[in-house]
Chains A and B, each alone.
Chain A
Amino acid sequence: EPEVTQTPSHQVTQMGQEVILRCVPISNHLYFYWYRQILGQKVEFLVSFYNNEISEKSEIFDDQFSVERPDGSNFTLKIRSTKLEDSAMYFCASMGGANTEAFFGQGTRLTVV
């Protein structure tokens, strides 16, 4: 069964450092998303990406965040200068079409120390 793959599963970084979280969406999917979930809180939308550009972003997704689809398979989330409050699970998701379900990866646990 096709699945969304995220790496690494856990990343520990120093405050102020840059991190890149990586995702391989399902191969024929067209819509890509990043979400985050702070421990014990709701899943929060960060950004959606379609047709090689950001289609929508939340207030959380400020200038410290960026996304890229550098090739036909990878989808990355970069945080330029991490803060303690960026510590969370980050989930990548992909959808085959606008009215279809989103498939989530298993997440990357980011810990900023």
Chain B
Amino acid sequence: EDQVTQSPEALRLQEGESSSLNCSYTVSGLRGLFWYRQDPGKGPEFLFTLYSAGEEKEKERLKATLTKKESFLHITAPKPEDSATYLCAVQARGGFKTIFGAGTRLFVKA
């Protein structure tokens, strides 16, 4: 069964304190792994898609990496406005369903 597990559930950082969020996945043939940001009461906002092991993508203070079993979202020198829930999701080849993890709630204190 396709599955996505994110850790930690919550992460508290000081402004400027870099860290990483983990996403472990099990999927029968990966079509794509997605990272989203979700603010309270809002829809997920797309950040990155990764398709194959070894791939990396960057956007401002965020960098996403992918291996055959997990993905990391690295946050460099975070700011308070980076506080949100970060969601990881996978889509299997041959299907249309996207499986989401439970998310990591990130709190960045000034």
Contact yes or no, A42 B98, CB < 8 A: no
Measured CB to CB, the closest approach of chain B to A80, in angstroms, equals 23
- Given the interface contacts A42-B103, A43-B44, A91-B44, does A99 sit within 8 Å of B31 by beta carbon? yes
B54 at the interface (CB under 8 A from A): no
Interface size class of B (residues with CB under 8 A): 20 to 34
Contact yes or no, A43 B42, CB < 8 A: no
Interface size class of A (residues with CB under 8 A): 20 to 34
Candidates B31, B41, B43, B95; contact of A105 at CB < 8 Å: B43
Contact yes or no, B96 A48, CB < 8 A: yes
What CA separation (Å) do A82 and B8 show in the bound complex? 35
CB-nearest residue of chain A to B89 = A43
Contact yes or no, A101 B44, CB < 8 A: no
Contact yes or no, A56 B103, CB < 8 A: no
- Given the interface contacts A99-B32, A102-B34, does A43 sit within 8 Å of B100 by beta carbon? yes
Total A-B pairs, Cβ < 8 A: 56
B84 at the interface (CB under 8 A from A): no
B11 at the interface (CB under 8 A from A): no
Contact yes or no, A43 B45, CB < 8 A: no
Candidates B36, B96, B99, B100; contact of A55 at CB < 8 Å: B96
Contact yes or no, B43 A45, CB < 8 A: no
Contact yes or no, A56 B97, CB < 8 A: yes
Contacts of B43 in A (CB 8 A): 4, 91, 93, 104-107
* 0/1 interface trace, chain A 86-110, chain B, CB 8 Å (1 if under): 0001010100001111111111010
- Given the interface contacts A101-B34, A106-B42, A107-B42, does A43 sit within 8 Å of B96 by beta carbon? no
Contact yes or no, B46 A101, CB < 8 A: yes
Contact yes or no, B100 A42, CB < 8 A: yes
CB-nearest residue of chain A to B100 = A43
CB-nearest residue of chain A to B99 = A45
Partner-B contacts on A (CB < 8 A): 4, 31, 33, 35, 41-45, 48, 50, 55-56, 58, 89, 91, 93, 98-107, 109
